[in-house]
Structure 1
Amino acid sequence: MTDEDIIKKIKEAIVHMDLETAKNACENALNQGIKPIDIIKDGIGSAVKIVGDLFEAKEYFLTELIMSGEIIKEIMLILKPYIKSDNKAKAKVIIGTAKGDMHDIGKNIVRNFMQAEGFKVIDLGIDVSTDKFIETVRVEKPEILAISALISASMPEVKNVIKVLNKEGLRETVKVIVGGAPVTQQFVDDIGADGYAKDAIDGVKICKRWAQE
Structure 2
Amino acid sequence: MSDILDQIAKELFAGNAKAVSELTQKALDEGFSPQEVLNGGLIKGMNQVGEKFKANEIYVPEVLIAARAMKAGMEVLKPKLAETGVEPVARFVIGTVKGDLHDIGKNLVAMMMEGAGFEVIDLGIDVPAEKFIQAIKEHQPQLVGMSALLTTTMIQIRENLKAFQEAGVRDQVKVMVGGAPVTQKFADEVGADGYAPDAASAVDKAKELLGLN
Q: Aligned residue pairs: how many?
A: 211
Could you give the per-residue CA deviations for residues 49-70 of structure 1, whole angstroms, max 9, x where no partner exists? 2112211221111112221122
Select 1:20's aligned residue among 18, 21, 27.
18
| Aligned-partner SS, 2:87 | coil
Matched, 1:124 2:101: no
Matches of 1:68 and 1:212, distance apart in 2: 27
Residue 148 of structure 1 pairs with residue 147 of structure 2:
yes
Partners of 1:153 and 1:69 in 2: CA distance: 30
Q: What is the aligned partner in structure 2 of residue 105 from structure 1?
A: 104
CA contact (8 A) 2:97 2:156 kept: yes
| Correspondence for 2:90 | 91
Amino acid aligned to 1:48: M
Asked whether 1:180 is paired with 2:182, we answer no
Equivalences for residues 35-54 of structure 1 within 5 A: 35-54=33-52
Q: Say whether the 8 Å CA contact 1:144–1:174 is kept in structure 2.
A: yes
Tell me the C-alpha RMSD between the 2 structures.
1.5
How far 1:185 sits from its partner (Å)? 1.1
SS in 2 for 1:115: helix
1:209 equivalent to 2:208? Answer yes
Q: Which runs of 5+ in 1 are unaligned?
A: none
Partner SS, residue 14 of structure 1:
helix
**1:23 deviation in Å?**
1.7
Q: Which runs of 5+ in 2 are unaligned?
A: none
Distance in 1 (alpha carbons) for counterparts of 2:105 and 2:70: 15
For residues 153-164 of structure 1, what are the structure 2 equivalents within 5 Å? 153-164=152-163
Q: Which residue of 1 aligns with 2:114?
A: 115
Cα distance, 1:131 vs structure 2: 0.8
Post-superposition Cα deviations, 1:22-49, rounded to whole Å, max 9, x if no partner, equal 1221121122222111111011121122
Partner of 1:55: 53
Q: Stretches of 4+ moved more than 4 A in 1?
A: none
Task: Check whether the contact 1:188–1:195 (CA below 8 A) recurs between aligned residues.
Answer: yes
1:171-205 superposed Cα distances (whole Å, 9 cap, x missing partner) = 11110001111111111111110111100001111
In structure 1, the residue matched to 2:137 is 138
Q: Within 2, Cα distance between the matches of 1:92 and 1:29?
A: 27
Q: CA deviation at 1:211?
A: 2.6
SS in 2 for 1:84: helix
TM-score (norm. length: structure 1): 0.92
Q: Percent identical across equivalent pairs?
A: 37
Check whether the contact 2:50–2:112 (CA below 8 A) recurs between aligned residues. Answer: no
Q: What SS is found at the alignment partner of 1:88?
A: coil
Encode CA deviations 1:90-140: one digit per residue, 9 max, x unaligned.
211111111122222122222122122221211111111111011111222
TM-score, scaled relative to structure 2: 0.92
Cα deviation, 1:140-174, whole Å, max 9, x if unaligned, reads 22110011112223212211110111122221111
